[in-house]
Structure 1
């Protein structure tokens, strides 16, 4: 009986340490601006992808705002203000003057990082939100872009 209790205790201790280690890694893993502050791939906006609508995807979401919504650089400046007013969001890299900004937004409970990059292009503002860890974001990137769009 003592042996069983000891084995269960060691197993529980191992699981707690593994859990804390994973949590620390997710929260403390460095974010390299060169990896995340990149131009959203053109393939995301294939023929037929709508303008001015959030398009959810697995682990991501996209939004492209047409120039009819405003001057793309002005839209980026407004989006920067909206994003910086959002909870758990900080600017990783870029600026309005550079024409591209990437923000990190962390989930409330675990602190999982999601990256959102917005880039000025001649025909509008292109925005790509994606997760870093896992496969599914459970719709949070699309929800964030929808919220930001409503506040522009």
Structure 2
């Protein structure tokens, strides 16, 4: 019985370590967001707002002010940036791709693990856009 307990503990610790330490391959996550309309999804959110180079630069600064957020790939000068944001306690990774395309800023935020992000990406992206609208 004691061995089973320790085996379960090791499996849980291993799973948590994998979530926090799993590599983030830009080839998988730094892709065209393909946003044609606003969508609230179980695993994330898509948003499409009018924008230009100056707005994507402002949005980039706003996003980088978010705790536990860093650039995974790209830059505003490239026209596409993918950010990695980790949850505070468990370190769950969320990926957000922001792209300037034909006068629109397209944003696709999604989780990596699990079935539902419980609205985390929606709240984060809508907060960024709210801040962007107050700066304009």
Is the pair's TM-score, using the shorter chain for normalization, greater than 0.5? yes
Is residue 39 from structure 1 mapped to residue 39 from structure 2 by the alignment? no
Q: How many residue pairs align between the two structures?
A: 132
State the match for 2:88 in structure 1. 108
Partner of 1:17: 10
Higher Cα Rg: structure 1 or 2? 1
Secondary structure, counterpart of 2:46 in structure 1: strand
Where do 4+ consecutive residues of structure 1 move more than 3 Å? none
Secondary structure at 2:56 match in 1: helix
**Aligned Cα root-mean-square deviation (Å):** 1.2
1:75, CA displacement in angstroms? Answer: 1.6
Distance in 1 separating the partners of 2:40 and 2:6: 39
TM-score of the two chains, using structure 1 as the length reference: 0.82
Q: Choose the corresponding residue for 1:121, options 94, 101, 105.
A: 101
* Distance in 2, Cα, partners of 1:94 & 1:74: 16
Deviation at 1:74, TM superposition (A): 1.4
**Aligned equivalent of 2:40, options 56, 72, 81:** 56
User: For residues 14 and 100 of structure 2, what CA distance do their matches in structure 1 show?
Assistant: 39
1:143 aligns with 2:108: no
Per-residue deviation, 1:123? 2.6
SS of alignment partner, residue 97 of structure 1: helix
- Segments of 5+ residues of structure 2 without an aligned counterpart are none
Gaps of 5+ in 1: 1-6
TM-score under structure 2 normalisation?
0.92
